[in-house]
Chains A and B, each alone.
Chain A
């Protein structure tokens, strides 16, 4: 069933004047079991409030829920939770729609072609789990535990730890997150050895220069950034946004610098040129904590070019202007401003790195922070400490598990692509399709919707069809779970225990707690409980790895470590970092808890724990490279490419390396290969326009499209509701004979789509931008059939080193649609 916008507005109009929960006629908007409706009508009307963490995206915002007689009726931001401080995005504010969504899956399902038109039959939990566990037992008994793969999405903290433990104990090396989490860290791992994303001290910076990072809308935690941004309004921090499109962040910045897609790295190096040329860089840091800045002569007497001379020779402003479209005068002004403002901070993300040259671009952007000496200091970059969770002992592996774990990961490229990562959706798909090095017999899919977001949608769909048992945990059918054989629907976050800790890029250690605010509306379960149940059914060492009754027990075990550490504080009204620091200096902890139970009750009641005080780190902990320095000339990259040469069976001669570089489409040669530099993107010459995409706060990765209010808000800034649009610069529109509101045909080498044009000055000439998130063929009645999915016409290209999908690498042509 599909719902058009007009139908929804009619329903919504009647909704606003009605007793919401008692209206049977509103099943299209919300569907509730009889018991809840009865309680809503006849209950005593007792009001309570409870705190939890929003689970609709991984941003980890604290949420306060109003309940009448135990039924959630309203949500708002938790004002004492330090990430969002009472703020909540539109998606979060509509969390009740997702709880009472009419298309929620109500119980486990199994695919059965004879089960009628839907092809699905309802099954009991026992039956569903037996189907899965029988297959898992069979694979282990036949020595094939590695034939099982787990595709997660953006889970973190304890849930990630639980899945890792399950896969370890079971014996598979194939747990991946299709959110590109593994891919995003590659540039930072090359430069300073960390496998986690750095955190930026935005709060204390006086100048923030963002390369493509639309953090107010697409960031890891947009409301967190919004709160920081509003603070900056008061302290007059300057924002400069470098981006092809006037995004929400660019619109709120002090200066927007439009740039051609795929050239962000070149601009960063142009700014580095100004810093070096004008001697505005941190000489002490460069001298003591950096490798590869100056030229060097090795033991054999060979001279190696360093970053400084490479930049001075190749990235002078006029040259960079040719590459990027950014005027040389702007490059000079911006370089000087960065160098003369302290602390100034440089951030790179989204448009800057979602390209075939993303790793090199991110390295170039990040090298500016190194030139400014921006590490472990106020207004700079740091790494947040992990929460002091209590844990299990290491997993005791049996012989089957050890053998399975020793197999090559299925996500690893078998060719020469992506040498610095063990997972890329492209490699995974190819390997599953070819059955090499082994077939995948069971695939678990948790969260996200990889088939919708992938660039290789056709191949990924074929891969899913090839796997004998696909198990999904989705609680609403989407493009990916339509291909599943069994669905074990996950609870809504308001119905279950959970935790969201250390959200990427948030500047302090934190643990947000979810707990059952309402009893399960339907017969669903928490995936953590399901995995523990499966482990027990598998038995043996797998079962012994989980000495737990349920996931709640796992949470308590972990939080006991936090309690015992005596560090940090349960989130509390109005108490900021200073008080915690004041107490810490004197050896006091902030809380008074006579027992863990008291701590736990308070933690659940308040919504979480945080510790804004970071441990002091030695330089060896800040830079985990072999040299314990920031490696502008990356030793890890050198070793990665050397390994690739060996893998191809060559002898590591200059010609062999040449062969590998050409396979990776790396045009640089010599020492430059290991330095941050600009790699040209292999754009089609016969296509006139760059196609770029962006995400909208209300829909995020596409999941928000399931909610009608989010569809209503999707294009509120351009007055395009429930549909997609293509932003086009007036000059481009004129050249292409397109007017605002025209339907246009956007054609790439990979396909075409039809979309309405939005002519706007907020985008560079020769670039068109289409929002990502709509164009579903599934995901419930509100999502299906609205808008277009720009990823469906993108070329199947990836970052040559990290394997991240290159969503900014396609060129298109447009014409007015007939």
Chain B
């Protein structure tokens, strides 16, 4: 059991290939939200039901992915978007590289933020998961743990998870004594339980958390000794769904639940290895999870060889001719392309003119799959270096 749990978490970080980090991680979704509102994206796109209806609600699952996956989605719907701009008599907004990074970071953050929980389901779970064996609600239930009516009102589900995590060893001891089952919870379970406890608590003030900062999380990952067992900074690995069972699309609590569910095995291992149980305070758990969550933000490396083919097959080379004799600039003459975000920004900003040109030439819009995006970036990066 110990080995299996450890292996899962090991795999979580020891996933496939890595390459040098080129993207400065976002630190706060607020920055991207500002771009989202100031550039009037909100006029057409809603987030969680708030915003325009001309375009799709971007909090839907299909609009989730790494930088270049998101770029692929945005790029492929350029013609529809341009038609909408013309219909609404809006100018197509131009974005700086930082704005593009903030915007992509914001869209990526959305799943991290999670969804509101179900109070009714939370109540059911409290019974079915055995919480009420030790804890009570308004005096009804066990006497070992505190009455949920007297605890702080956790607005953020993660705050509840953090509290659970911190008293994990004591709780596991109690579970052993009482011969009860260690409660396995999915991310949604945690959200629902938190929603119920929030309603039950009689505290006046709600305790909220700030959205996690992956950069701070990266530092904490080292400080809390997570990197002793899991692969840490320097050998940063990417989470691959399929190898591990964390579905990042389901938000922060999904990562939290993976942590919680392997808590029992982890404790045993740590006791044997004489490692202290890491405790979190303030916003620390949100930050660490943000770090883990953002491991999926950056793409794995594409193939410059395949990218060259994409450049030709999609017709980029018909305008971007070597020597600058085409209608577009010679991409080799561009300054060094050192970030996929820079590529996306350049593509976004010239998409309006490019579409006009393609229409006049009776050519189709060149759609790019995420893989093609990665390959194209690898190719352009290499070309600009040359």
Interface residues of B in 187-217 (CB under 8 A from A): 194, 198, 205-211, 213
A residues 653-684 touching B (CB-CB < 8 Å)? none
Question: In the complex, A592→B283 CA distance in Å?
Answer: 9
Nearest residue, chain B, Cβ from A591: B210
- Taken together as a complex, chains A and B put the C-alpha atoms of A588 and B113 apart, in Å, by 8
B138 close to A (CB within 8 Å): no
Q: Does B114 contact A573, Cβ atoms closer than 8 Å? A: no
Contact assessment for B208 and A572 in the assembled complex, using a CB-CB cutoff below 8 Å: no
- Chain A contacts for B114, CB-based, 8 A: 586
Query: How far apart sit A564 and B30, CA to CA, in the bound complex (Å)?
Result: 20
Cα A293 to Cα B50 with chains together (Å): 39
Chain B residues with CB below 8 A from A584, complex form:
155, 208
A587-605 toward B: CB 8 Å interface, digit per residue (1/0)? 1111111000000000000
- Asked if residues B47 and A588 are in contact (CB atoms below 8 Å), the reply is no
- Taken residue by residue from 558 to 602, chain A's Cβ proximity to chain B (1 for < 8 Å, 0 otherwise) reads as 000000111100001111101101111111111111000000000
Known: A566-B207, A588-B210, A588-B211. A582 touches B34 (CB 8 A): no
Q: Bin chain A's interface residue count.
A: 20 to 34
- Shortest A596–chain B CB gap in Å is 13
Bound form: Cα–Cα A592–B47 in Å: 21
CA distance A587 to B208 in the complex (A): 6
B47 surroundings in chain A (CB, below 8 A): 578-579, 582
* Residues on B with beta carbons closer than 8 Å to the beta carbon of A593: 210
The verdict on B116 contacting chain A, using a C-beta distance below 8 Å, is: yes
Partner of B194, one of A587, A589, A591, A592: A587
Cβ contacts under 8 Å, A585 to chain B: 48, 116
Asked if B210 and A574 sit within 8 Å, CB to CB, the answer is: no
User: Taking A565-B205, A574-B38, A575-B34 as contacts, is the C-beta distance between A589 and B210 under 8 angstroms?
Assistant: yes
B115 within 8 A of A: yes
* Contact for B159 among A581, A587, A590, A591, CB less than 8 A: A587
| Complex CA distance for A582 and B210, rounded to whole angstroms | 13
Find B208's partner among A574, A575, A578, A589 (CB 8 Å cutoff).
A589
CB < 8 Å neighbour of A582 from B27, B37, B50, B207 = B50
Contact A588 B48 (CB under 8 A): no
Render B132-175 as a binary contact track against A, CB cut-off 8 A, 1 for contact. Answer: 00000000000000000000001111110000000000000000
Given contacts A588-B156, A592-B27, contact A583 B34 (CB under 8 A): no
Q: How far is the CB of A574 from chain B (nearest CB, A)?
A: 4
Nearest B residue to A569, CB-CB? B30
A576 and B33 alpha carbons, distance in the complex (Å): 10
Number of B residues near A (Cβ < 8 Å) is 33
State whether A587 touches B48 (Cβ < 8 A).
no
Q: Is B51 an interface residue (CB 8 A)?
A: yes
Shortest distance from the beta carbon of B212 to any chain A beta carbon, whole Å: 9
Q: When the two chains form the complex, which single residue of B38, B42, B156, B213 contacts A573, counting CB atoms closer than 8 Å?
A: B38
Assess A586 versus B34: contact at CB under 8 Å? Given A567-B208, A581-B50: no
Q: Check A583–B113 contact: CB distance below 8 A.
A: yes
Whether B51 pairs with A578 at a CB distance below 8 angstroms is yes
Q: Shortest distance in angstroms between B67's beta carbon and chain A's nearest beta carbon?
A: 22
Contacts of B48 in A (CB 8 A): 582, 585
Using Cβ atoms and an 8 Å threshold, which residues of chain A touch B213? 592
Closest to B154 in A: A587
B247 within 8 Å of A (CB atoms):
no
Q: Which residue of A lies closest to B40 (CB)?
A: A574
How far, in whole Å, are A381 and B77 apart by their CA atoms in the complex? 43
B28: CB under 8 A from chain A? Answer: yes
- A572-B30 CB under 8 A given contacts A565-B205, A586-B113: yes
Q: Is the CB of B156 within 8 A of A587?
A: yes
Please state if A592 and B50 are interface contacts (CB–CB under 8 Å). no
Q: Which residue of A lies closest to B159 (CB)?
A: A587
Q: How far is the CA of A579 from the CA of B206 in the complex (A)?
A: 18
Knowing A578-B51, A592-B27 are in contact, say whether A586-B210 is a contact too (CB < 8 A). Answer: no
Q: Which residues of A contact B28 (CB under 8 A)?
A: 592
Contact yes or no, B194 A575, CB < 8 A? no
> What's the Cα separation between A581 and B46 when bound, in Å?
13
Q: CA of A550 to CA of B127 in the docked complex: distance in angstroms?
A: 54
Residues of A within 8 A of B42 (CB): 578
Chain A residues with Cβ under 8 A from B207's Cβ? 566
B208: chain A residues at CB < 8 Å are 566-567, 584, 587-589
- How would residues 71 to 107 of chain B score, 1 for a CB under 8 Å from any chain A CB and 0 otherwise? 0000000000000000000000000000000000000
Across-interface contacts of B283 in A (CB, < 8 A): 592
**Contact for B210 among A576, A579, A592, CB less than 8 A:** A592
Q: With A and B bound together, what is the CA distance between A196 and B180 in angstroms?
A: 55
A598 to chain B, nearest CB (A): 11
Residues of B within 8 A of A564 (CB): 205
| Complex Cα spacing A575 to B33, Å | 7
Q: Which residue of B lies closest to A577 (CB)?
A: B50
Residue of A nearest to B206 (CB): A566
Contact with A along B17-46 (1 / 0, CB 8 A): 000000000011010011001100010000
Bound: A566/B211 CA distance, A: 12
Residue with the highest number of chain A CB atoms closer than 10 Å, among B47, B113, B157, B198: B113
Bound-state Cα–Cα, A576 to B213, Å = 22
Q: Which of A575, A586, A590, A591 has the most CB of B within 10 A?
A: A586
| Smallest beta-carbon distance B291→chain A, Å | 14
Q: How far is the CA of A581 from the CA of B27 in the complex (A)?
A: 20
B33 CB to nearest A CB, Å: 5
Complex CA–CA separation, A586 to B47 (angstroms): 13
Contacts of B198 in A (CB 8 A): 587
Cα A515 to Cα B118 in complex, Å, equals 44
Q: Chain B 305-325 against A: per-residue CB contact (8 Å), 1 yes, 0 no?
A: 000000000000000000000
Please name the residue on chain A nearest to B160 by beta carbon.
A587
Interface residue ranges of A734-784 to B (CB < 8 Å): none
Docked CA distance A593–B159 (Å): 16
CA separation between A572 and B31, bound complex, in Å? 10
Q: How far is the CA of A585 from the CA of B113 in the complex (A)?
A: 10
Q: Chain B residues near A576 (CB, 8 Å)?
A: 37
Provide the bound-state CA to CA distance between A261 and B215, in Å: 65
A660–B37 Cα distance when bound, in Å, is 60
Q: A523 to nearest B CB, angstroms? A: 42
A576–B43 alpha-carbon span in the complex (Å): 13
Nearest to A570 among chain B residues (CB) is B30
Q: How far is it, in angstroms, between the C-alpha of A97 and the C-alpha of B204 when the chains are bound?
A: 47
Q: How far is the CA of A585 from the CA of B37 in the complex (A)?
A: 20
Which residues from chain A contact B155 at a C-beta distance below 8 Å? 566, 584, 587-588
In the complex formed, the residue of A with least CB distance to B113 is: A586
* Most chain B CB within a 10 A radius of its CB, from A581, A584, A589, A593: A589
Tell me the complex Cα distance, A810–B27, Å: 64
Write out the residue numbers on chain A whose beta carbons fall within 8 Å of the beta carbon of B38. Answer: 573-574
**Among the interface residues B27, B28, B37, B47, which one has the most CB atoms of the partner chain A within 10 A?**
B37
**B157 CB contacts on chain A under 8 angstroms:** 587
Which B residues are CB-close (under 8 A) to A583?
Answer: 113, 211
Q: Contact: A589 with B50, CB < 8 Å? A: no
**Is the CB–CB distance between B115 and A586 below 8 Å?**
yes
From B59, which residue of chain A is reached at the shortest CB distance? A582
Residue of B nearest to A576 (CB): B37
Contact A573 B209 (CB under 8 A): no
Complex CA–CA separation, A732 to B113 (angstroms)? 67
Q: Which of A566, A579, A581 contacts B33 (CB 8 A)?
A: A579
Residues of B near any A CB (own CB < 8 A): 27-28, 30, 33-34, 37-38, 42, 47-48, 50-51, 113-116, 154-159, 194, 198, 205-211, 213, 283
Q: Provide a sorted-by-A list of 21 A–B residue pairs whose CB atoms are within 8 angstroms.
A: A567-B206, A567-B208, A572-B34, A573-B34, A573-B38, A574-B33, A578-B42, A579-B37, A579-B50, A581-B50, A582-B47, A583-B211, A585-B116, A586-B115, A587-B157, A588-B156, A588-B211, A590-B30, A591-B30, A592-B28, A592-B211
What are the 8 tightest A-B residue pairs by CB atom distance, in nearest-first order?
Answer: A587-B156, A578-B50, A587-B155, A566-B208, A574-B37, A574-B38, A589-B208, A592-B210
Given contacts A573-B34, A581-B50, A586-B115, 14 further A-B contacts (CB under 8 A): A566-B207, A566-B209, A567-B208, A574-B33, A575-B30, A579-B30, A579-B33, A583-B113, A586-B114, A587-B194, A589-B209, A589-B210, A591-B210, A593-B210
